[in-house]
Amino acid sequence: MKLHCSWMVVLATLCVAPLCFAMEPVSESDKLGSLPGQPHVSFQQFGGYVTIDEKQGRALFYYFVEAVTDPTASKPLVLWLTGGPGCSSLGGGAFMEHGPFRPRGNTLFRNKHSWNREANMLYVESPAGVGFSYSRNKSFYDDINDEVTARDNLAFLEGWFMKFPKYRNRELFITGESYAGHYVPQLAQLVINSGKNFNLKGILIGNPLLEFDTDINAQGDFFWSHGLISDSTHALLTSTCNYSQIMRWVYNISESLSPECYEVYNKSAGEIGGSVDPFDVLGDICLSSEEVCLTDEVDVYLNRKDVQKSLHAQLVGTPNWTLCYPDSAHFLRDAVIPSINVVEWLVWSGIRASVYSGDQDSRISLIGTRSLLEGLAKKLKLKTTVPYRNWFEKKQVGGWTQVYGDILSFATIRGGSHTAPISQPTRSLALFTAFLEGKPLPDA
């Protein structure tokens, strides 16, 4: 019998004439066993690295969980990017928001609202230097700009599809939150312009930074409408100094702040106080002395050596895994560059775009986001197909929504924080499901 080996399966088969020896697919080496403290599950998990720059020794860490049912038959592939810039998709997206598990003590508990009930979920820690991702020859601060991040994320996708070729033609959705209002549309645009054969269908971004001045100035209106600042302070934020001026200084984008602005800043900060979470203004803050916080649980769990070994993760250039890179807020050089125009380009190109806002987030509030989406729809001359109305999850109002054409939509998540899947997991899952199906959110 004549033996031969196809070049197309070279990754899965090693040929040494005259024999062929079967090898495991590349993805099998990244397959995870049971994580420490994990309950039994039926779906498969993978973790490991994709090298994106050999010369600089740069590699991005990923965590991939297949869908609970029909992972390779019908469920789409969803890439999740947490913002920051410099915050972990593994710790934030996977272990705090919508991954399959949440840690508590030495145990992982099932998240019954995990998004892998509806999709194959791929979490990548980006840019290099965040979480378990690393760059051996360059510091995080050298790499933290939008252009490099988008390029690296595209290289990651190319490398990941080489490991998991069966997902290459699957419907792909790119999702994220916060500063991923830059990461997500920029990567989507790069995917299209690259000509890569990725089956990109849409983007979903939560509480996204899309246009700095509009988004940041909306904080003043949000604080005032929720009773956090006085009428007089709100008037000063309109007439004397706005929040975008203040935040440019706080984030080290501008070198100085005028005395008038500094006075307004101190006045508003004094009225808000230090015991309100700007990412969830109606939620109680976590008092570590009285309770164990979810961020603390995740930090302890992902810094365990046995957990890191199980995840196929390593620490390079840092002694500890951290949820967000230290001081990354001071390196927001590209934050002031609008990304709403990239969303416009994507919609014009036929890519479906959905944006949601947890309505208790003051940092990137629904006020700015809603106005940006309304302006974009008018610019593109999209007709309103679903007028502004409330939507329901079971028998309760889940939030409010509006749809433009069949390609652009906005929704709020009632009671949702900046990271809505933590504070409102049921409503967030309902919104995610509707997005994947391309359907309007349910009405009464």
What does the pLDDT read at residue 326? 72
pLDDT band of residue 142 (cuts 50, 70, 90) is: low
Helices (H) then strands (E): counts for the chain: 13, 15
CA 33 vs CA 41, 200, 342, 370: distances in Å: 11, 30, 40, 43
Q: How far apart are CA 313 and CA 49, in angstroms?
A: 8
Q: How far apart are CA 183 and CA 164, in angstroms?
A: 23
Asked which of 105-114, 154-163, 170-179, 244-253 is least confident by mean pLDDT, the reply is: 244-253
pLDDT band of residue 139 (cuts 50, 70, 90) is: low
Encoded tokens for 103: 């840690």
Q: How far apart are CA 160 and CA 362, in angstroms?
A: 36
For residue 316, pLDDT over 60 is answered with yes
Q: Which residues, including other chains, have CB under 8 Å from residue 245's CB and lie 6 or more apart?
A: 254, 257, 261
Cis peptide before 421 (omega within 30 of 0): no
Choose between 124 and 252: higher pLDDT: 124
**Residue 418 DSSP symbol:** T
Active-site residues, by number, are: 178, 361, 418
For residue 20, pLDDT over 80 is answered with no
pLDDT tens-digit series, residues 269-313: 999 998 999 999 988 888 765 566 899 999 999 999 999 999 999
pLDDT tens-digit series, residues 74-106: 899 999 999 988 899 999 999 999 999 999 988
pTM for the model stands at 0.91
What does the pLDDT read at residue 144? 72
The neighbouring-strand residues paired with 356 are 206, 411
CA 230 vs CA 219, 225, 236, 238, 295: distances in Å: 13, 10, 10, 13, 32
For residue 19, pLDDT over 60 is answered with no
For residue 39, pLDDT over 50 is answered with yes
Show contacts of 315-323: CB within 8 Å, 24+ apart.
315/132, 316/134, 316/136, 317/129, 317/134, 317/135, 317/136, 321/88, 321/91, 321/131, 321/132, 322/88, 322/131, 323/87, 323/88, 323/91, 323/92, 323/295, 323/298, 323/299
pLDDT tens-digit series, residues 101-114: 999 988 999 999 99
pLDDT band of residue 11 (cuts 50, 70, 90) is: very low
pLDDT band of residue 25 (cuts 50, 70, 90) is: low
Encoded tokens for 369: 């986001």
- 98 touches 115 (CB < 8 A): yes
> How long a stretch of residues is the chain?
444
Nearest to 99 by CA among 107, 110, 85: 110
Domains detected in the chain:
1-29 (no CATH), 31-211+334-353 (3.40.50.1820), 229-275 (no CATH)
